């Protein structure tokens, strides 16, 4: 049976262009004038992903303006009618040469030009002219521009090997780096009259090794397939492998493999780091041979190259202590497999995509950056108040090297079965013991790994005024040095994760928890520096006001503030206030509720502005008006909240999070704690509190946290008689009603 060859997208487009060109020239009398239609850029290289632009160029020598116009219209219009995403340029040969001297992008695009129609001899003349432009001064100008433009591109798009959502085309380690090596070798090789071009030419010139040329070919094939699969999965042009499409793309590469995402991460890690190393090495060797040293010499140019040595924990600690300066060495050790030799299991997190979209980096790179952040804390790099305090605490650490190892290993359990913190603690214990780390150090580091999320979870989800919470944490850590290390690891981990994870509010909560627990361990009175909602005299003064609804606002540091509201107590009051605050673009961070015997409610909220740098007096006046209207029945609050929610519906690139409801009765003596994990969205708090109101639940305290696209909302609730909810049936109804409310 005869095999049927599948055409590439470039070949399919070639057919359409050929048909359009044939019809165009049949109706035109272009005479003997020299002209040519070219595929340039990616289309010239026959690299068209499903939604790539199709770049065409019409080059001529002496065509009249009317003839050019007619040719372009008759050629391009049918292609536009065919819904092709067309990029086009029309130039005379003289204009092409002149533009090539000024515009580096046009020059490199023309080096990839491919003949589609017209005069073949004129195409050869065009190609020679453009290569001559690139080859001025033996290609030195081109090489210098190539290195400069590549560095600028890396600065803008980053380093793919460090990115949780890598840019596949333009980032350092992406496809454009391989194009740059081909362009550079072609132009440099012209002066040496080599018999081959591209990667083979780079090998012949001694600028890359034959082994590295093979690695580039393999990496290019992988990255190209990856880009095509990404376009198919997204249904549009998209060159950044965003969290939302990673699973779909991984399944295309590794169908029916449960660990497809892990396998894809490892392959992407190796490919992008191969490309990064080889490209940097190519520029280094080419620059040393053909340019002045100052034109290419720059710290970190060959960022993955370092002398090979037998790695021990002592030598590793020497690198960790360097912080940011040691980062390239750490990456090199991971790339070459040295870390896996010293730390069995490191390979499991190499290039591993984190399970949530909040992480900027793969797990191994995040671990490196956690070390970097820890050293920054030690050296007090950063002007923020939390860094200053953390730096002072770091000075009190008895064994800072233990803290550096904990920072490196804190996520070693990811990619394994079970909770990564406890799995990682067990793995680390064995690794450290085998590596000759003394027992007490190993036990402390394992403890820090097991509990590296504990402070953050307690601070953002529990009542820090509850003595049971503080006593429990003090009992867990046992001594002040462990608590100090856990506090510093919490900060470094959060800061290394991403900009949406650590902010003033979370920092203040973790700091408050730390100070209260430290005071408990030292037998001292806890400092009164809480940023939680705590009832004060100024709040209770509102209860004596003359208005039915009283509102007062106090600005706090940053974009935060505190709003106190007094109103007649009624079922659903918290829900109405939450809706009004959302309508006025305020995020609720925490709240506390007090009810008087004469059925007046005092509700105090910590809030932050969504769109404004500060909460204005005008916003407070709007809140007062909207709340009065809502309580008096003159505002369709649910209707307005629905409109607001749809208007600001998040188009998240992340995989939608599974909504979870966790209910706990053991952590508080007086209240049932309801904890909801869901995708963050405008109006989320309103939906949840409405679901609680429908079940006649009283909210006594709330804590609201966001981590990127995830919201974690915690409520301390009781029934209308102030009792915990203990019936399994009632607890089940709470979970069902919240899940239903958030299901749309």
Contacts of residues 62-71 at CB distance under 8 Å and 24 or more positions apart, as own/partner, are 62/33, 62/34, 62/92, 63/30, 63/33, 63/35, 63/92, 67/28, 67/30, 67/33, 70/28, 71/24, 71/25, 71/28, 71/30, 71/35
Nearest to 331 by CA among 160, 157, 150: 160
The whole-number pLDDT of residue 226 equals 96
Distance in angstroms (rounded) separating the CA atoms of residues 589 and 593: 14
> What pLDDT is recorded for position 421?
94
- Taking CB atoms within 8 Å and a gap of at least 24, the contacts of 186-191 are 186/111, 186/131, 187/111, 187/131, 187/134, 187/135, 187/139, 187/142, 187/143, 188/138, 188/139, 188/143, 188/286, 188/290, 190/131, 190/134, 190/135, 190/139, 191/135, 191/138, 191/139
Q: Helices 684-694 and 573-583 sit at what angle, rounded to 10 degrees?
A: 170
Q: Kind of pairing, strands 54-61 and 86-92?
A: parallel
CA 581/CA 571 separation, integer angstroms: 18
pLDDT at residue 2, rounded to an integer: 46
Closest C-alpha among 53, 24, 59 to residue 41: 53
Distances (CA, A) of 214 to 144, 276, 356, 424: 26, 14, 34, 37
Which residues are CB-neighbours of 436 under 8 A, at least 6 positions away? 313
Q: Cβ distance 691 to 664 under 8 Å?
A: no
- In this predicted structure, what is the pLDDT of residue 300? 42
Neighbours of 635 (CB within 10 A): 19
Give the separation between CA 429 and CA 537, rounded to whole angstroms. 51
Distance of CA 506 to the CA centre of its chain: 19
List all residues 6 or more positions away from 86 whose beta carbon is below 8 Å from its beta carbon: 53, 54, 56, 76, 79, 80
Instruction: Count CA within 13 A, CB hemisphere, residue 76.
Output: 19
Single out the residue of 669, 737, 324 nearest to residue 472, CA to CA.
Answer: 669
> Can you tell me whether residue 348 is helix, strand or coil?
helix
What is the pLDDT at residue 315?
94
Rounded to an integer, what distance in angstroms lies between the CA atom of residue 44 and that of residue 112?
5
CB 630 within 8 A of CB 584: no
E strand or H helix that includes residue 295: helix 293-296
> Which residues make Cβ contacts (< 8 Å) with residue 575, sequence separation at least 6?
686, 689, 690, 692, 693
Give the number of other CB atoms < 10 A from CB of residue 30. Answer: 18
Looking at residue 383, what DSSP letter applies?
A: -
| Angle at 119 (CA atoms; ends 21, 46), nearest 5 degrees | 65
Alpha carbon distance 110, 131 (integer Å): 9
Helix (H) or strand (E) holding 152: helix 140-157
- Average pLDDT per block of 10 residues along the chain, 744 residues long: 60 91 82 83 92 92 82 88 87 93 94 92 93 87 94 93 91 96 89 69 90 95 96 94 90 88 89 94 91 52 50 94 94 89 91 77 93 94 76 94 97 89 94 93 96 95 90 95 96 89 86 93 69 75 83 79 89 90 89 86 88 81 90 88 77 66 92 93 90 93 84 92 94 95 85
Cα–Cα distance, 700 to 594 (Å, whole number): 7
Do the beta carbons of residue 567 and residue 631 sit within 8 Å?
Answer: yes
- 344 vs 342: CA distance, rounded Å: 6
Predicted local confidence at residue 225, as pLDDT: 95
Which among 462, 682, 696, 662 is positioned nearest to 574, based on CA atoms? Answer: 696
Separation between Cα atoms, residue 571 and residue 573, nearest integer Å: 6
Contact 499, 164 (CB under 8 A): no
**What is the maximum alpha-carbon separation in the chain?**
100
DSSP annotation of 304:
T
* Cβ count near 539 (within 10 Å): 21
Q: How far apart are CA 300 and CA 159, in angstroms?
A: 12
Nearest alpha-carbon partner for 406 in 331, 343, 480:
343
The candidate with the shortest Cα–Cα distance to 357, out of 656, 593, 611, is: 656
Strands (DSSP E) found in 511-642 = 550-555, 560-568, 586-595, 600-609
Cα separation, 52 vs 44, whole angstroms? 12
What residues contact 416, with CB distance under 8 A and at least 6 apart?
348, 423, 424, 427
Measured in whole angstroms, how far is the alpha carbon of residue 86 from the centre of its chain? Answer: 31
**pTM of the entire predicted model:** 0.81
In the DSSP assignment, the letter for residue 301 is T
> To 5 degrees, how large is the angle CA 225–CA 230–CA 231?
100
């Amino acid at each position: 049976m005869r095999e049927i060859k599948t055409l590439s997208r470039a070949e399919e487009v070639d057919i359409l262009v050929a048909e359009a060109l044939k019809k165009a020239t049949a109706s035109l009398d272009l005479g003997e004038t020299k002209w040519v239609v070219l595929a340039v850029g990616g289309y010239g290289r026959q690299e068209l992903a499903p939604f790539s632009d199709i770049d065409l160029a019409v080059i001529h020598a002496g065509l009249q303006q009317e003839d050019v116009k007619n040719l372009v219209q008759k050629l391009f219009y049918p292609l536009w009618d065919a819904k092709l995403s067309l990029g086009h340029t029309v130039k005379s040969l003289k204009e092409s040469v002149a533009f090539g001297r000024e515009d580096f992008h046009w020059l490199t695009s023309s080096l990839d030009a491919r003949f589609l129609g017209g005069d073949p001899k004129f195409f050869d003349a065009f190609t020679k002219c453009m290569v001559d432009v690139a080859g001025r001064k033996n290609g030195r100008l081109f090489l210098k521009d190539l290195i400069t433009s590549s560095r600028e591109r890396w600065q803008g798009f980053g380093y793919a090997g460090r990115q949780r959502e890598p840019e596949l085309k333009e980032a350092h380690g992406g496809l454009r780096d391989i194009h740059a090596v081909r362009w550079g070798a072609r132009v440099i090789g012209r002066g040496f009259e080599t018999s081959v071009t591209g990667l083979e030419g780079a090998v012949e010139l001694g600028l890359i090794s034959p082994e590295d040329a093979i690695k580039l070919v393999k990496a290019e094939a992988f990255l190209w397939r990856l880009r095509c699969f990404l376009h198919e999965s997204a249904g549009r042009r998209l060159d950044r492998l965003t969290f939302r499409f990673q699973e779909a793309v991984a399944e295309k590469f590794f169908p029916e493999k449960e660990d497809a995402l892990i396998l894809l991460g490892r392959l992407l890690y190796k490919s992008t780091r191969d490309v990064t190393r080889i490209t940097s090495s190519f520029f280094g060797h080419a620059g040393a041979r053909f340019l002045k040293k100052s034109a290419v010499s720059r710290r970190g140019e060959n960022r993955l190259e370092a002398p090979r040595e037998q790695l021990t924990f002592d030598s590793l600690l020497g690198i960790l202590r360097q912080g940011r300066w040691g980062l390239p060495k750490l990456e090199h050790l991971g790339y070459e497999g040295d870390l896996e030799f010293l730390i069995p299991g490191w390979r499991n997190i190499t290039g591993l995509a984190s399970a949530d979209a909040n992480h900027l980096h793969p797990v191994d790179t995040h671990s490196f950056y956690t070390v970097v952040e820890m050293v920054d804390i030690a050296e007090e790099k950063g002007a923020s108040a939390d860094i200053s305090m953390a730096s002072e605490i770091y000075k009190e650490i008895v064994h800072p090297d233990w803290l550096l190892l904990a920072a490196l290993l804190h996520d070693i359990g990811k990619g394994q079965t079970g909770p990564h913190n406890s799995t990682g603690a067990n793995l680390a214990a064995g690794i450290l013991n085998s590596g000759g780390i003394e027992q007490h150090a190993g036990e402390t580091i394992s403890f820090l790994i097991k509990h590296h999320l504990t402070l953050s979870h307690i601070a953002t989800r529990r009542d820090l005024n509850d003595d049971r919470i503080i006593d429990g944490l003090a009992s867990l850590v046992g001594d002040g040095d462990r608590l100090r290390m856990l506090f510093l690891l919490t900060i470094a981990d959060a800061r290394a994760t991403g900009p949406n994870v650590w902010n003033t509010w979370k920092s203040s909560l973790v700091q408050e928890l730390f100070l209260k627990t430290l005071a408990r361990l030292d037998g001292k009175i806890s400092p009164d520096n809480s940023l939680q909602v705590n009832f004060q005299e100024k709040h209770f003064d509102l209860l004596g006001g003359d208005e039915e609804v009283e509102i007062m606002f106090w600005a706090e540091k940053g974009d935060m503030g505190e709003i106190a509201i007094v109103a007649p107590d009624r079922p659903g009051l918290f829900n109405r206030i939450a809706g009004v605050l959302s309508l006025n673009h305020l995020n609720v961070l925490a709240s506390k509720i007090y009810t008087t015997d004469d059925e007046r409610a005092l509700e105090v909220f910590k809030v932050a502005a969504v769109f404004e740098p500060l909460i204005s007096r005008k916003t407070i006046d709007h809140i007062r008006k909207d709340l009065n209207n809502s309580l008096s029945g003159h505002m369709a609050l649910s209707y307005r909240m629905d409109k607001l929610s749809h208007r600001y519906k998040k188009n998240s690139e992340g995989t939608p999070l599974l909504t979870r409801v966790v209910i706990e009765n053991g952590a508080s003596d007086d209240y049932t704690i309801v904890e909801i994990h869901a995708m963050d969205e405008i109006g989320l708090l309103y939906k949840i509190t409405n679901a609680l109101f429908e079940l006649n639940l009283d909210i006594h305290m709330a804590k609201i946290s966001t981590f990127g696209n995830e919201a974690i909302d915690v409520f301390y609730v009781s029934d209308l008689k102030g009792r915990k909810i203990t019936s399994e049936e009632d607890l089940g109804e709470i979970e069902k009603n919240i899940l239903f409310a958030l299901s749309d």
